Amino acid sequence: MLKEKNKTKKEKWLNERIENKRTFKYHQNVLFGITCTTKIECVETGDIFTIEYTKPKSKLRFAPELVKQVRLNMFKKDVWFKSRNKKKTDLICSNCSREYENLDCDIGLMFIEGSLNKHVCFDCGSKYILLGSEDVEKKINEAKNMKNALIEKIRGLGNYNEPGYYSKKLDDMGLDDLETLYNEKKSEKEEWDRIESIEIPESETGLEQYLIDEYGVIENTKWLKCVEQIEGFFKDCGYDLFDCGQGYAQREATAICKIGLKFYEVTIKAEIGSAKQDRGDRLYWVENIDSVDYKEVDKPLPKEKTSFNYKITLSDDKKNLLDSFLKKNQINFSNK
Task: Tell me the number of residues near Zn ion by CB under 5 A.
Answer: 5
As a whole number of angstroms, the distance between CA 185 and CA 198 comes to: 20
In angstroms, what CA-CA distances link 270 with 255, 276, 290? 14, 19, 5
Q: How far is the CB of 139 from Zn ion (least distance, A)?
A: 21
Q: Mark the segment that binds Zn ion (CB under 5 A) among 75-83, 85-93, 143-151, 167-175.
A: 85-93
Q: Mark the segment that binds Zn ion (CB under 5 A) among 53-61, 94-102, 142-150, 199-207.
A: 94-102
Residues 120-179 that bind Zn ion (CB under 5 A): 121, 124
Q: Mark the segment that binds Zn ion (CB under 5 A) among 115-123, 136-144, 224-232, 311-319.
A: 115-123
Q: Mark the segment that binds Zn ion (CB under 5 A) among 89-97, 172-180, 203-211, 308-316.
A: 89-97
181 binds Zn ion (CB under 5 A): no
Query: Is the Cβ–Cβ distance between 119 and 90 less than 8 Å?
Result: yes
Query: Is the Cβ–Cβ distance between 249 and 269 less than 8 Å?
Result: no
Residue partners of 297: CB distance under 8 A and separation at least 6? 256, 263, 264, 265
Reduce the DSSP state of residue 14 to 3 states and report it.
helix
93 binds Zn ion (CB under 5 A): yes
218 binds Zn ion (CB under 5 A): no
256, 263, 260, 259: which is closest to 204 by C-alpha?
260
As a whole number of angstroms, the distance between CA 237 and CA 201 comes to: 24
122, 136, 110: which is closest to 77 by C-alpha?
122
Q: Which of 30, 36, 96, 322 binds Zn ion (CB under 5 A)?
A: 96
Q: Which of 69, 95, 126, 133 binds Zn ion (CB under 5 A)?
A: 95
As a whole number of angstroms, the distance between CA 250 and CA 237 comes to: 16
Q: How far is the CB of 172 from Zn ion (least distance, A)?
A: 37
Q: Which is nearer to Zn ion, 126 or 211 (CB)?
A: 126
Residues that bind Zn ion (CB under 5 A): 93, 95-96, 121, 124
